[in-house]
Structure 1
Amino acid sequence: MIKFHPSEEHLFHYVTGELTPAMLMVVGTHVDMCSQCQRNVHHIEEDLAQKVFGQRQIPTELKAANDSFDGDDMLAEIMAQTPQPKQHLLNGVANELILEGRRFPLPGTLARSHHRIGAWHKLIGQMWRAPVQVGGEDVLTFIYMAKNTKVPEHTHKGNEATLVVNGLFNDETSEYRDGDFMFLDGSVKHTPETRHEDCLTLAALDAPMHFTSGISRLLNPFSSLFFK
């Protein structure tokens, strides 16, 4: 069961198209995975339509255009305006991601953009990352953590939105599973770790993370590895 969701503000800006491309992808993927947020998005769309059209009857031609509107096509058109990565990591399979012998099913929003997923690179410990080229100034990236992996305590110089695509990780405050969405800023310090399961996340960042604890602070010159 999904416990953590985007705020109402995030969902509103998702509906109105006011999120950055990276945030659009993260929030859209969460909506793919979450029936509760699908209902909330539908209600926001209805409220906006009511404000626009009021009690007036919608003209037949406008209603027909609305019935034929496809939000997936709009998202695909936005993504089509961004550069293509040079490497494809899905071996021609559009609906799953393959890494270290593991196969991860991709929700619809990600599956439609599988061709934008770049090469996997190993980070510190048993961690890998793969960028997702969506344009804009924010960085969108997959982060994979094998079992028994810990990210040193850190905060964020900007904002970070993280979605659990598959698996499980913990930090000092909670446990996060498939579909859980977190939005963190510089006021939060945490130490994500996996214990008995591995975890694949999708993260949108607008600035590098900042390591805050003990010897891990020596890693700060390399924090850009998570932000490129």
Structure 2
Amino acid sequence: MINFHPNQLQLIDFVEGNSAPAMALMISAHKDMCPKCRGRIELLESSIGEGIFEVEAERIDFGTMLSDITKLPAAEQITFDQASRGQPLVESIELDGRQFKLPRTLRRFIAKTGNFSHLLGNLWQAPVDLGPIGKANFIYMQKGGRVPEHTHRGTELTLVINGEFSDGMSDYDTGDFILMGGENTHAPYSEASEGCLVFSIVDAPLHFTSGIARLLNPFSHLFFNTK
């Protein structure tokens, strides 16, 4: 059950096109998985669209607009067969023979996802090149897998793709949208039998806060491929 969602202001910014690219990407991927947020976004789009139309309608010369439309060339028809011609549609990523189906928004990045590499313990990571948006990671926690306790020098956006995990603050399930900042300290871990796969975007290196993990701080940008 999805319990964590973008807040109303974040959704309004998303609908109005004012979200930062990383936030827009993560909200779009969450929307693919969350019927509740799809409904909220559709209502916002309708409400905002009606408001814009009411303002713009006062300025439009509909006679001129219709005349201009009739002068345009006919739109090129694109059939389903044409659109799907070429490489087969890829919807999943794989780790040790296990397939993880991704939300529609993230599928375009499958070809830009690196191989999974073992980090430590029961923790695996695959870097994702988001182009101008930045770099991100798929992180898989096998049962018993744990990310060392850390806080954030920037923001950490996380979407649970498959499975469940906890972090000492809350319990998260498939589809949950999570935003962490410098005020949050947590240690994600999974005790689920199937483990947990998350997609995470971090705009600055993590800062490890406990035990021997603090020795990793000078190398944290390498640990999670944040640069």
What TM-score, normalized by structure 2, do the two folds share? 0.80
2:215 counterpart of 1:218? yes
Specify the SS of the correspondent of 1:142.
Answer: strand
* CA distance in structure 1 between the aligned counterparts of 2:30 and 2:157, rounded to whole angstroms: 11
Q: Secondary structure at the match of 1:97?
A: strand
Helix, strand or coil: the match of 1:123? strand
1:185 aligns with 2:173: no
> 1:148 corresponds to which residue?
144
SS at structure 2 position matched to 1:110: helix
Q: Which of 86, 101, 105 pairs up with 1:105?
A: 101
Q: CA RMSD in A?
A: 2.5
Q: Deviations over 1:114-158 (max 9, x none)?
A: 222223222122222222222235432211111111111100000
Between 11-20 and 42-51, the greater mean CA deviation after superposition: 11-20
Aligned to 1:74: none
Match of 1:126 in 2: 122
* Runs ≥4 residues deviating over 3 A: 55-62
Unaligned runs of 5+ in 1: 63-67, 69-91
The total of aligned residue pairs comes to 201
Q: Distance in 1 between matches of 2:126 and 2:89?
A: 16
Amino acid at match of 1:28: S
- 1:154-185 per-residue CA deviation (whole Å, 9 max, x = no partner) reads 00000111010001101112211100011010
CA deviations on 1:73-92 (whole Å, 9 max, x unpaired) are xxxxxxxxxxxxxxxxxxx7
Please list, as runs of the form range in 1=range in 2, the aligned pairs for 1:59-208 lying within 5 A after superposition: 94-136=90-132, 138-197=134-193, 198-208=195-205
Identical amino acids, percent of aligned pairs: 42
Per-residue deviation, residues 14-56 of structure 1 (Å, max 9, x unmatched): 2233333333222111000001100111111112212211274
Separation of aligned partners in 2, 1:44 and 1:196? 36
1:93 Cα deviation (Å)?
A: 6.1
2:85 equivalent in structure 1? none
- Partners of 2:196 and 2:5 lie apart in 1 by 18
Q: Is the 8 A contact 2:109 2:129 kept in 1?
A: no
Aligned AA (1:25): L
Distance 2:21 2:128 in 1: 11
Select between 174-183 and 18-27 the one with higher mean Cα deviation.
18-27
- Letter paired with 1:21: P
Counterpart position of 1:54 = 54
Distance 1:22 1:5 in 2: 15
- Quick check: 156-165 or 136-145, which moved more? 136-145
TM score, norm. by length of structure 1: 0.79
Letter in 1 for 2:110: H
**Does the 8 A contact of 2:163 with 2:192 survive in 1?**
no
**Take 1:196 and 1:178, find their aligned partners in 2: how far apart are those partners?**
12
Match for residue 209 of structure 1 among 185, 206, 220: 206
Sort the Cα spacing of 1:130 and 1:154 in 2 relative to 1 into closer, same or farther, 3 A.
same
- Contact conserved, 2:3 with 2:176, CA < 8 A, in 1? yes
Looking at CA atoms only, which structure, 1 or 2, has the larger radius of gyration?
A: 2
TM superposition shift of 1:3: 0.2
In structure 2, what is the Cα distance between the partners aligned to 1:4 and 1:28? 14
